[in-house]
Chains A and B, each alone.
Chain A
Amino acid sequence: AEWKFAIEEIEGSVQDRYAQEFKRLIEEKSGGDITVTIYPYGSLGTSAALTELVTQGAIQFANSSPGHLGTLVSEVQVFSIPYLLSQNDEVNKKVLSESDVIYETLQSSFHEKNLHLLTMYPEGDMVWTANKEIRSPQDFDNFKMRTMVSPMLVEAYSAFGASPTPMPYGEVYGGLQLKQIDGQVNPVFAIQEMKFYEVQDYMIFAGQQEFTTTVVTNNDWFQNELSADERKMVNETIGELADYIFDVKREFATERLEMIKEAKPDITIIELTEEERAVFREAAQRVRDKYVEMTGESGKMVLEGLQADIKEAEEEMGAS
């Protein structure tokens, strides 16, 4: 059999590494009975289109980031809330790969759409780039910050004091170069891939958000068409990949940052202090209300459950 796996990123990306390793393991475990074909960014359509292809059963697996998936499974936008996840990597790893809130409460919303959530993993810190230093909401005054199109992110960056400005991803480079926008926010690997650093002077780590992605499959296919053995094989493989992709993520975070520094030695990298982060965290509290307003009772359950899970994991690991 051939299983098709579409990713939202280009070859050589974090998602590609995950899909390649998934392919290797599945093909090995099935003794060659199953081949996995990987479709990189753009070859089968936009992110939203990929999720639809999975629900329709045209492909079996796809990456789908909460920013896009939110138009189908609204509760998943919880991952767009700033400062929700922990500042501790190990805590996030545990929560994202094991939390009952994600794999039971949130899962039922996926099943309603004929999707099955296989896993979630982080791809790195969302970093601000700008041509000025940004350490407080005042610095964001009159600052046109390019964000993805989502009411949650518009709310978040308004709360931070910026002027959220939507712009198609492909136009961001030109927009920054010609100063139509003042900054943008993306994980380090994207800033490196899209060369945003060529036209920006500052990279600011504020710890507000981890870029996460999901791997989804067609629920009907997964529960009814796969044999119990195949299903077990998929679940096992997904389990084994949790540690793997965490290491890949860390590797990307350092390597890509090094590449940026090498290509542009005079770029200024700012790590906000705990006190500075606290100001932004406080400002962003209202985004949680916005989320509950948008998603209602089920969203509220997901949010509260996740907050509890994160807190528990932090205490367990002695992190705060």
Chain B
Amino acid sequence: MTTAMVSLMIVLLLLGFPMLIPLIGATMLGFFVFFAGIKPDIMVQQMIEGVKPAALIAVPMFIFAADIITKGHSADRLLDLVMRFVGHVKGGLAVTTAATCTLFGAVSGSTQATVVAIGGPLRPKMLKAGYKDDFVIALTINASDIAFLIPPSIGMIIYGVISGTSIAELFIAGIGPGLLILAMFSAYSVAYAVVNKIPTTEKATWGERFDAIKGAIWPLGFPVIIVGGIYGGIFSPTEAASVSVLYALILEVVVFRSLKLREIPEIALSTGLITAVVFILVAAGAAFSWTISFAQIPQAIIGGLGLEESGPTMVLIAISIAFFIGCMFVDPIVVILVLVPIFAPLVKAAGLDPVLVGTIIVLQVAVGSATPPFGCDIFTAIAIFKRPYFDVIRGTPPFIFMLLLASALLIMFPQIALFLRDLAFR
């Protein structure tokens, strides 16, 4: 059954069918051939359930806010400010992009929202500065995925619940690896800028910088409101997205008068279209993963590996591979829900620290989400940037390599994750 489903998916994918079709086609194969007698209505039920989780609402809201500030003045003013400070540094803009994605992702908790909110406005600037599009897109997607590691992280909460691990400890343990990856991406960005001779702009004077700060003072309210609102207990990270829509409207319509109120529905339409394009794949992915769970395919595959007698390192490697592959096809949360209990006995037998295991799992989830063919961030990037599938993934390999290197380092030196945890809790 697994072979038939995977083959069908690959064929439909390569023929160029809309991505919805490989996912639904494989699901239908499961329903019509392998579990005949079960009502196919359930496919539809699962598709609808797939888009209903409350946290998903942040995605269209951040898309909307980013659309508004890009059409208006805020985005330009913020970018102008960034350029005045880092434009003269080799790779400065790329490092800024990576750091901004990490920060925004850390706060919003949504990698897809980060791709939209940061990638949308920054990409044109980077292209103008001379970076190649494949690098820009890959950097945005992968830096956004660091969001999974830095708290608050929904992936860590789910893992904590399923495995009975302290969520507070997991949150702290994610910070080290998150920063390590950011450092790797930054180093690569600088190297990329040097090798490709990306021109720098002239160093701005402090007077010019001060002007830029003055120009960006209102838009600088975004991070203040989002971070302040969340940590001040006024709204949840999910709600922060909607609040930033409100703030964007106030800035562009009232303060800068760059947009007229009647132009807003048009922007909302563009947001709605992108949302639909991404969410229909979330829906199809939910139906597909239900089929996989129902048929108990992960249990069968992992049970067949015979890992019961292997040592801790082998178990960690097996976990990494399983989660990495799972997240290439299916929504990360579902992968955590399904695979964590299957691995639980192995983790226990190998005497592994559940916090370390959680960090490694969440890291793999981050890698998998940015990895073809079905990584959810890739869909988002295609919808936002309107580039063909292959253009979007072309720049990915160096990033995947760095992320895998980070995974290997984490397995070899668990202190990268556990150092801060031990400092805080032991």
Inter-subunit contact A37/B49 (CB<8 Å): no
Bound: A43/B53 CA distance, A: 15
A180 touches B38 (CB 8 A): no
Could you give, for residues 43-60 of chain A, a 1 whenever the CB lies within 8 Å of some chain B CB and a 0 otherwise? 111100100110011100
Q: Closest residue of chain B to A179, judged by CB?
A: B233
Q: Which chain A residue has the least Cβ–Cβ distance from B166? A: A195
Please, how many angstroms separate the alpha-carbon atoms of A201 and B164 in the complex?
A: 20
Flag if B344 contacts A56 (CB, 8 Å). no
Q: Which A residues lie within 8 Å of B41 (CB)?
A: 56
Q: Which of B39, B152, B158, B230 contacts A57 (CB 8 A)?
A: B39
- Which partner residue on chain A sits nearest B239 by CB separation? A180
B29 in contact (CB, < 8 A): no
Of B167, B233, B290, which contacts A45 at CB under 8 A? B290
Interface-forming stretch among B11-19, B139-147, B212-220, B333-341?
A: B333-341
- Residues in B whose Cβ lies below 8 Å from that of A167: 236
B49 touches A11 (CB 8 A): no
Residue B160 lies at the interface, judged by CB distance under 8 Å to chain A: yes
With A42-B334, A180-B234 known as contacts, the answer to whether A173 contacts B167 (CB < 8 A) is: yes
Chain B, interface size category, equals: 35 or more
Q: Complex Cα distance A263/B169, Å?
A: 12
Report how far A233 CA is from B368 CA in the complex, Å.
Answer: 46
A170 touches B160 (CB 8 A): no
Distance (whole angstroms) from the CB of A36 to the closest CB of chain B: 13
CB distance A174 to B168 under 8 Å?
Answer: no
A11 to chain B, nearest CB (A): 5
Asked whether, in the complex, the Cβ of B168 is within 8 Å of the Cβ of A198, the reply is yes
Chain A residues near B157: list those with CB within 8 A.
170, 173-174
Say yes or no for B55: interface residue by CB 8 A criterion. Answer: yes
In the assembled complex, which residues on chain A have CB atoms less than 8 Å from the CB atom of B46?
A: 45, 49
- Please tell me if the beta carbons of A58 and B38 are within 8 angstroms of each other in the complex: yes
* Nearest CB in chain B to that of A42: its residue: B337
Cα A40 to Cα B163 with chains together (Å): 13
List which A127-176 residues lie within 8 A (CB) of chain B: 167-168, 170-171, 173-175
Q: Are A171 and B167 in contact (CB under 8 A)?
A: no
Task: Find chain B residues with CB under 8 A from A175 CB.
Answer: 236
Q: Does A1 contact B (CB under 8 A)?
A: no
Taken together as a complex, chains A and B put the C-alpha atoms of A40 and B339 apart, in Å, by 11
Which residues does chain B contribute within 8 Å of A49, judged by CB atoms?
45-46, 49
Report the minimum CB–CB distance from B162 to chain A (whole Å).
6
Inter-chain contact A11/B341, CB cutoff 8 Å: yes
> Quick check: B234 and A56 within 8 Å, CB to CB?
no
Contact of B184 with A by CB under 8 A: no
Residue from A10, A37, A45, A179 within 8 A of B162 (CB atoms):
A10
Contacts of A103 in B (CB 8 A): none
> By DSSP majority rule, is chain A's interface helix, strand, loop, or mixed?
loop
Query: Could you tell me the distance between the alpha carbons of A278 and B396 in the complex, rounded to whole angstroms?
Result: 64
A58 touches B236 (CB 8 A): no
Residues facing B in A159-212 (CB within 8 A) are 167-168, 170-171, 173-175, 178-180, 193-195, 198-199
Given contacts A45-B290, A49-B49, A170-B158, contact A195 B238 (CB under 8 A): no
* Residue on B nearest A167 in the bound complex, by CB: B236
Cβ contact within 8 Å between B166 and A198: yes
Task: Name the distance in Å between A288's Cβ and chain B's nearest Cβ.
Answer: 30
Judge whether A41 and B296 touch: CB under 8 Å. Answer: no
Question: B33 to chain A: which residues have CB within 8 Å?
Answer: none
A193–B161 touching, CB < 8 Å: yes
A96 to chain B, nearest CB (A): 27
**Would you call A291 an interface residue if the criterion is a C-beta within 8 Å of the partner chain's C-beta atoms?**
no
Least Cβ–Cβ distance between A68 and chain B, in angstroms: 13
CA distance A58 to B42 in the complex (A): 8
Asked if A39 is at the interface (CB within 8 A of a chain B CB), the reply is: yes
Expressed in whole angstroms, the Cα–Cα distance for A194 and B341 within the complex equals 16
Chain B residue at minimal CB-CB distance from A172: B157
CA–CA, A288 and B183, complex, Å: 60
Q: Contact between B158 and A171 (Cβ–Cβ < 8 Å)?
A: no
Chain A residues with CB under 8 Å of B32's CB are none
Docked Cα-Cα span, A281 to B55, in Å, equals: 35
**Cα separation A45 to B154 with both chains bound (whole Å):** 17
Known A-B contacts A44-B290, A49-B49, A56-B42; A178 and B168 likewise in contact (beta carbons under 8 Å): no
Name the distance in Å between B238's Cβ and chain A's nearest Cβ: 7
Nearest B residue to A169, CB-CB? B161
> Is there a chain A Cβ closer than 8 Å to B87's Cβ?
no
Query: Which residue of chain A has the shortest Cβ distance to B235 in the bound complex?
Result: A180
Complex CA–CA separation, A195 to B344 (angstroms): 19
Binary interface profile of A, 253-268, with partner B (CB < 8 Å = 1, else 0)? 0000000000100000
Q: In the complex, which residues of chain B have a beta carbon less than 8 angstroms from the beta carbon of A52?
A: 42, 45
- Are the CB atoms of B167 and A11 closer together than 8 Å? no
B237 at the interface (CB under 8 A from A): yes
Q: Mark A295-314, 1 if CB is under 8 A from B, else 0.
A: 00000000000000000000
A46 vs chain B, min Cβ distance (A): 6
Query: Whose C-beta in chain A lies nearest to the C-beta of B41?
Result: A56
| Apart from A56-B39, A178-B233, 8 more pairs, CB < 8 Å | A42-B162, A45-B45, A53-B42, A171-B55, A174-B157, A175-B236, A180-B236, A195-B168
Some 21 contacts from A to B, beta carbons below 8 A apart, are: A11-B341, A40-B341, A42-B334, A45-B46, A49-B46, A49-B49, A53-B42, A56-B38, A56-B39, A171-B55, A171-B236, A174-B236, A178-B230, A178-B232, A178-B233, A180-B233, A194-B161, A195-B161, A195-B167, A198-B166, A198-B167
B-binding residues in A (CB < 8 A): 10-12, 37, 39-46, 49, 52-53, 56-58, 167-168, 170-171, 173-175, 178-180, 193-195, 198-199, 263
